[in-house]
Amino acid sequence: MAKIKPRAKIPKEAELGEIIEIKTLIRHPMHSGRVKNAEGKTIPRQIINKFEARFNGDLIFSMNLEPSISSNPYISFPYKVSDSGSFDLVWTEDGGEVYKLSKSMKVS
Amino acid sequence: MKNKSLKSINRRSAITLLTCMGFSLSLHSGLMASPEMVQSELDKISKGSKKKDADIFLDVPEIAENGNQVKVSFEIESPMTENDFVKEVYIFADGNPAPNVGKFEFTPFSGECFASTKMRLSKTQDVYLLAKFNDGKYALEKSTVKVTIGGCGG
């Protein structure tokens, strides 16, 4: 299986009060549990079911994902810049495996 | 020239085709969502609360060429303050194997209420957006997406 790799596009610097758009992508097949493989066996459901974004520990945005979300799920969301600090992004897979990414941002 | 016959199929179209085949196979075997199912989901969430007028912009393509990657984005007019913000946004699709697509949760930290993602649509169908505000009220928006090939013959 291809390596599951989270990515995020966050500006390194932003102005106080500015509303930025954070774009995230994680490489993941998002097996819906309905697709059959070449041998005719159903590939069991294995999806990213939860995404959470925190800034300096505060939850700023979260999303529940269902099998209807495309493979390599892309999520973009807003954030109003209030301070310098770091974003902690967490993707949770079926079965409890988590993928994390941290990025810092400075108020200019 | 071993692969001469395969020359017209590149990697991308092969993957799309395979995914589509799997998806359409599953469509015929499994139960499908229906407008009634979406309605009951909507009722479950909005039960006991009042509808409110809100400026909702649900941006889905009128025609989606590839049902495996349909971009859905939305924008809801809201001050996004502690006292008045959009708490949850649900997306439903009434022609997919399951009605639920996703649930977004916003906070006053968001500043504005917008988001986007990509979803799978098995055939031409309606996409619903239900927004729930922090005061318990809700608002609804609906849009039809015509799916040309992503439905895989569906």
Q: Is B128 on the interface with A (CB under 8 A)?
A: no
Chain B residues close to A64, C-beta within 8 Å: 102-103, 105
Among B138, B134, B136, smallest CA distance to B82 is for B134
At B67-85, the pLDDT tens digits run 899 999 999 999 999 999 9
Domain that holds residue A23: 6-107
Residue in B107, B114, B123, B128 to test binding to A, most A beta-carbons within 10 Å = B107
Contact between chains at A63 and B109 (C-beta distance less than 8 A):
no
CATH number of the domain to which A13 belongs:
2.60.40.10
Q: What is the DSSP string of chain B?
A: -TTGGGTT--HHHHHHHHHHHHHHHHHHHS----HHHHHHHHHHHHTT--B----EEEE--SEES-TTSEEEEEEE----BTTB-EEEEEEEETTSSSSEEEEEEE-GGGSSEEEEEEE--SSSEEEEEEEEETTS-EEEEEEEEEESSTTTT-
Which pLDDT band holds residue B138 (cuts at 50, 70, 90)? very high
What's the domain count of chain B? 1
Contact between chains at A63 and B103 (C-beta distance less than 8 A):
yes
Q: Is B118 on the interface with A (CB under 8 A)?
A: yes
- Chain A with chain B: Cβ pairs closer than 8 A: 109
CATH number of the domain to which B118 belongs:
2.60.40.2470
DSSP A71: S
Q: Is B116 on the interface with A (CB under 8 A)?
A: yes
- Shortest distance, CA B52 to any CA of chain A (angstroms): 23
Q: Is B110 on the interface with A (CB under 8 A)?
A: yes
Tokens 């085949």 appear where? B21
CB A40 within 8 A of CB B84: no
- Shortest distance, CA B31 to any CA of chain A (angstroms): 11
Tokens 């649509």 appear where? B121
Residue A58 counted as domain residue: yes
At B76-116, the pLDDT tens digits run 999 999 999 999 999 999 999 899 999 999 999 999 999 99
Residue A1 counted as domain residue: no
Mean pLDDT over residues A70-98, rounded? 95
For the question of whether the overall pTM of this predicted structure is more than 0.90, the answer is no
Tokens 């649930």 appear where? B103
What's the domain count of chain A? 1
